[in-house]
Amino acid sequence: EVHLLESGGGFVQPGGSLRLSCSASGFTFSKYAMSWVRQAPGKGLEWVSSISSSSGSTYYADSVKGRFTISRDNSKKTQYLQMNSLRAEDTAVYFCAKDLNDVMISFGLDHWGQGTPVTVSS
């Protein structure tokens, strides 16, 4: 059974940094692209970033480009999201998600973690 567990969320002041982690189990992690999706309180889903299976390609939403960095360690079956220069509008629950395809990235997401909350406030 696929299991994704996010950690690292919390409370941070504007301009601060956080690093989120997502630990994976139940599938061959190194074969699948991974993504982060966020949901602000009471709002809809927003794709944040994705990374290919080999880390060779990374993708970012315009809203986070230049501030967030996605990475992964296939030996640890873990992906990360380094978030810098945080703003109040980054406040959200951040979900880790697994890609549908094992051949190439699709950006379709077939399994999700339960999310980790991030609050940016002074």
Partner 1 sequence: DIHMTQSPSTLSGSVGDRVTITCRASQSINTWLAWYQQKPGKAPNLLIYDASTLESGVPSRFSGSGSGTEFTLTISSLQPDDFATYYCQHYNSYSPTFGQGTKLEIK
Contact residues toward partner 1 (CB under 8 A) are 37, 44-47, 59, 61-62, 95, 100, 106-115
Least distance in Å: CB of 53 to partner 1?
Answer: 15
**Radius of gyration, CA atoms only, the chain:** 13
Yes or no: say if 13 and 121 are a contact pair by the CB < 8 Å rule. yes
How many other CB atoms are there within 10 angstroms of residue 102's CB atom? 14
With 0-12 CB in 10 A as exposed, 13-18 as middle and 19+ as buried, what is 21?
Answer: middle
Least distance in Å: CB of 79 to partner 1?
Answer: 16
Nearer to partner 1 by Cβ, of 3 and 13: the residue is 3
Yes or no: say if 86 and 15 are a contact pair by the CB < 8 Å rule. yes
Least distance in Å: CB of 15 to partner 1?
Answer: 26
Nearer to partner 1 by Cβ, of 84 and 112: the residue is 112
Calculated CA dihedral for residues 3, 47, 8, 119, nearest 10 degrees:
-140
Nearer to partner 1 by Cβ, of 14 and 108: the residue is 108
Nearer to partner 1 by Cβ, of 80 and 95: the residue is 95
Least distance in Å: CB of 74 to partner 1?
Answer: 22
